[in-house]
Chains A and B, each alone.
Chain A
Amino acid sequence: MGATVTTAASKEKIWNGGEDIQPLGASYGKMMMWYFILSDSLTFAGFLASYGFTRFKFMDSWPIADEVFNHFPFLHGVNAPMYYVALMTFILIFSSVTMVLAVDAGHQMKQKKVATYMLLTIVGGLVFVGSQAWEWKNFITGTYGAVETKGGEILQFVDKDGKRLALADFADTSIVREDAVLTKSKGVWSMKGGADTSVSMSQIKAGLEKNPDVLIRTQYTVEGNKHKKVVLSREESLKRADDFVYVVEGANLIRNEYGHKTFANLFFFITGFHGFHVSVGVLLNIIIFFNVLLGTYEKRRSYEMVEKVGLYWHFVDLVWVFVFTFFYLV
């Protein structure tokens, strides 16, 4: 490894054409990193544009982000919209700051400082990926549960004041569930599936009939307010019970309790693709961190590698700024 470093020493910034040729005043590696970022940002723009398209297409029935992403660590059952993603945003911006400080220290050839800031950046990146995993866990587990109708609409349940009800809050569990798993111990050997939800459909229907306070909330928003969903009257709610098909708890790629199927798909795809980028960034940062410790860039007399990886890391932050706006704020 030492041998490679010495032959490459100080030639890193030179193009094939010779010493004094630098197209657009940038070194080869830096320019290619920028053009990679350009193409990757167009990919992300494509994803976010498709999110916008789907949302405009279902303008009157899109889930309300504030209701979906309202968890905060150690605050169970507290409605805390936005705080957690805001915290994640700060973590990522701050790790961007430590990265740019590392680049700055690299310009001054201060090896120890570069290493310290790189380490802080790696820690920030890992905390962010962990936060995203927690966000996914909440999204996949779900909070309240809902039912899906024959037409594919997601119906949620509220009480008289419009407060959301979990399925377990009103379902009549005294009824034996119709989808009980028939196991070998019950004499059935060849059947699969069944009870994978906390309550069964007949329990929900019975609970809805029994509790006069339970109402159905549809996917549609009221006229003139995109952040308020239509709640059916008691009679209409009872009538809708005939259409119930599935009990939906949490989210997967087929259906989710928040509303449109595409909402969960886009969430998994966009935040997942971004999370993948962050993970790759952490990996690159770790490689560079060890190179700094080994003195590779001291031998080269140039910390440009830190700068190039830094560009990628800032790009990850840049994408998150947009994801944050379009998924959580708008």
Chain B
Amino acid sequence: MAAHASNTKRIWTVFVILSVITIVEVLLGIDKPDVLFHHDFLSLSYLNWIFIILTIVKAYYIMWAFMHLEGEKSSFRWSIVAPMFFLIIYLVCLVLIEGDYIYDVLQTSSYRWIF
């Protein structure tokens, strides 16, 4: 790969995208607009949904552009991203549902003292 074309333009574009996303996150985190903050979707406030989605967008750009997954074979890409994605989603769903259940037990259940 001696005669590799330079990617500097792409790198700086991605840097600008990541910076803008971070600035938006910080501004939202400081301001916490009531509309987004006090309204929930699937028991998570809109604000938190925005944070999580922006984080995944950031992760996408870091992995695809900086770690250069976009230049790898798609079989290789899948062998990394698929286990990561599905295992983490699976773990997080199980564990958060369990955490919420324990919260309910500690709040309301009559058998919380032996739980």
Which chain A residues have a beta carbon within 8 Å of chain B's beta carbons? Answer: 24-26, 31, 34-35, 37-38, 41-42, 45-46, 49-50, 52-60, 66, 81-83, 86, 89-90, 93-94, 96-97, 99-101, 103-104, 107-109, 224-225, 227, 301-302, 307, 310-311, 314-315, 317-318, 321-322, 324-325, 328-330
| Chain B proximity of A120: nearest CB distance (Å) | 13
Pair count A-B, CB < 8 A? 142
> In the bound complex, do residue B32 and residue A227 qualify as a contact, i.e. CB atoms below 8 Å apart?
yes
Set of chain B residues within 8 Å of A49, measured between Cβ atoms: 88, 91-92, 95-96
Instruction: Pick 5 A–B contacts, CB within 8 A, sort by A.
Output: A26-B72, A56-B99, A57-B99, A96-B66, A99-B66
Chain B residues with CB under 8 Å of A108's CB are: 4, 6
Closest chain-A Cβ to B22's Cβ sits at a distance in Å of 6
Is A38 a contact partner of B2 (Cβ separation < 8 A)? no
Residue positions of B touching A, CB distance < 8 A: 1-2, 4, 6-8, 11-12, 15, 18-19, 22-23, 25-26, 29-30, 32, 37-38, 48, 51-52, 54-55, 58-59, 62-63, 65-68, 72-73, 75-76, 79-80, 83-84, 87-88, 91-92, 95-96, 98-100, 102-103, 106-107
Assembly CA distance A108 to B79 (angstroms): 29
With a CB–CB cut-off of 8 A, which chain A residues contact B80?
A: 34-35, 37-38
Q: How far is the CB of A137 from chain B (nearest CB, A)?
A: 22
Is B62 within 8 A of A317, CB to CB? yes
